[in-house]
Amino acid sequence: MLGGIDMAGMAGSKIRIVYIYDILREKSDEEHPLTAAQLVAELARFGLTAERKAIYSDVDLLIDYGADIIKCPPPTKGYYLGERDFQLAEARLLMDAVESAQFITETKTEELIGKIEKSLSVYQRESLKLQQVYIDHRNKNENETVYYVIDALLTAIQAGKKVRLHYLKRSMEAGERPKNEDHIYSVSPYALIWVQDHYYLVCNNAKYDNLMHLRIDKISKVTQLEENLRPLREVSKYEDTFDAADYLSTKFNMFSGDPVRVKIKCDNDVWQIVADRFGDDVLIVERTDDTFTISAYATIEGLDSWIMQWGDKMKVEEPKALRDMVVKKAEAMLAAYKKD
C-alpha cells in the first residue's frame, strides 16, 4: 500500500485489460463470443483475478480506446473481437500467396503463415485448415538469405546507390549434374518486381545501355557502393520513375529487348488468354464472327514461345521477324518428330 493506494492491485488491473484484449483476439469471433464469466475464468489461467463488474468496465475502456469489441445483443451474451488485421478470406489469400511463391523458402513460409494466423481466432485458424488448398512445394527456393538480399537491394534503391552482387548461374556439362557458377556484377538497381512466381531485380549493367533483370533467389552477398546509380533515362524510356506496370506489359517470360508493335490474329475462344497477357484494354483492330486481331507493343523474345502454346488459334501478322521466329520453331519441332 502507498498513500492508501493498492499499487499491486492497480498494476494488476492495468495488465488485466491487456490480457482481456489478447483473450478476445485469440478465443472469440462472431460465432464464439465470450461472456464475462468466461473471461474471468480465462484470466485465472494467467493468475489474474477479477469480478464480472470489473470485466464490464475493462471492456468499455478497450472500446473507448478504439478496439472493435462487439457486445452481443440479447438473448445472446458475451463479447467478441470484430474487425481484425485480416478477415478470413484475406488471410486465406495471403497464406496461399506465401505458400505458392517459389522464392520464399519452406522455413520462411511457415514463419510468415504463423504471423498471419496470429491475427485470427483459434476457431478461424481451424476453419482455414479444413479449407486447405493443395499447393505444390517441390520448387520452393532453398536460399535462406533471400530476405537479407531484398532488404539490401531496397535500401540501395532508396539511397540511389549502385550495388555489387554475386549471381548464381547453372551450368550443364554432358554426363554431369548442373553446377552453380558464381558471377559478380556491379549494377544500378531500379526496382523489384514479382512476376510468374519469381522475384526479379530490374537493373542496369554499366557495360550496356539497357535494362536487365536478375532473379532475386539467385542473388547473394549484396554490397552497397558509394557510386550513385546510373540515371534511369540513360538506359530506358523512363525519365525518373520506373513504371513497373508498363515494363511488364511489354515483357514475355522476362526476356530483355526493345518492345515493337505486334499484330496477332486470334480465334475468339482465346480472348481471355490474350486479355490476361496484354490487358483487358488491348487494342482490337479487326473483328469477325470467328476471330479478332490485336495490336500491341511487346518484346518478341519469348513471345514466339507463348504464341506457339495455342497452335493454330493464333497467327502472327506483324512484324515479319516475329512471324519468322514462330515459323522457324514450328518447322524445327516438326523436323524433330520426323526424325523418328
> Is residue 318 in a domain?
yes
Q: Are residues 181 and 221 in the same domain?
A: yes
> Is residue 47 in a domain?
yes
Q: Are residues 198 and 221 in the same domain?
A: yes
pTM of the model: 0.56
C-alpha cell at 189: 538497381
CATH of the domain at 321: 3.30.70
Q: Which residues 6+ apart lie within 8 Å of 307 measured at CB? A: 264, 314, 316, 326
Strands 69-71 and 179-195, sheet pairing: unpaired
Q: Are residues 297 and 230 in the same domain?
A: no
C-alpha closest to that of 141 among 91, 58, 199: 199
C-alpha closest to that of 164 among 151, 145, 146, 183: 183
> Is residue 271 in a domain?
yes
> Is residue 11 in a domain?
yes
Domain of 313, in residue numbers:
260-338
Q: What is the DSSP string of 202-271?
A: EEEETTSSS-EEEEGGGEEEEEEEEEEPPPGGGTSS-SSS--HHHHHHH-STT-----EEEEEEEEGGGH
Q: Are residues 185 and 113 in the same domain?
A: no
Q: Are residues 106 and 76 in the same domain?
A: no
> Is residue 250 in a domain?
no
The number of domains in the chain is 4
CA 138 to chain centre: 18
Q: How far is CA 245 from CA 149, 150, 199, 234, in A?
A: 23, 20, 15, 20
Q: Are residues 159 and 199 in the same domain?
A: yes
Q: Which residues 6+ apart lie within 8 Å of 269 measured at CB? A: 313
Q: Are residues 150 and 197 in the same domain?
A: yes
The backbone torsions φ and ψ at residue 87, rounded to the nearest 5 degrees and listed phi first, read -75, 165
SS3 content of the chain, % helix, strand, coil (to 5): 40, 25, 30
C-alpha cell at 15: 495488465
Exposed / middle / buried, residue 166 (Cβ in 10 Å: 0-12, 13-18, 19+):
middle
> Is residue 249 in a domain?
no
> Is residue 14 in a domain?
yes
How many Cβ atoms from other residues are within 10 Å of residue 41's Cβ? Answer: 12
CATH of the domain at 26: 1.10.10.10
Q: What is the pLDDT along the chain (340 residues), one digit of tens a residue?
A: 223 334 344 455 788 999 999 999 999 988 899 999 999 999 999 888 888 889 999 999 999 999 999 999 888 889 999 888 887 778 887 887 787 777 778 888 888 888 888 888 888 888 777 555 544 554 565 666 777 888 899 899 999 999 999 988 765 444 555 567 788 999 999 988 887 667 889 999 988 888 888 888 889 889 999 999 999 999 988 888 888 877 776 666 566 667 888 999 999 888 877 877 776 667 888 888 888 898 988 888 778 888 888 889 999 999 999 999 899 988 888 888 887 6
Q: Are residues 105 and 158 in the same domain?
A: no
* SS3 labels along 16-44: HHHHHHHHHHHHCECCECECHHHHHHHHH
- Cα–Cα dist 49/209, whole Å: 70
- Cα–Cα dist 337/80, whole Å: 66
Q: Are residues 230 and 163 in the same domain?
A: yes
Q: Are residues 74 and 111 in the same domain?
A: no
Q: Are residues 172 and 233 in the same domain?
A: yes
Q: Are residues 236 and 151 in the same domain?
A: yes
| Inter-residue contact 84 to 118 (CB < 8 Å) | no
> Is residue 122 in a domain?
yes
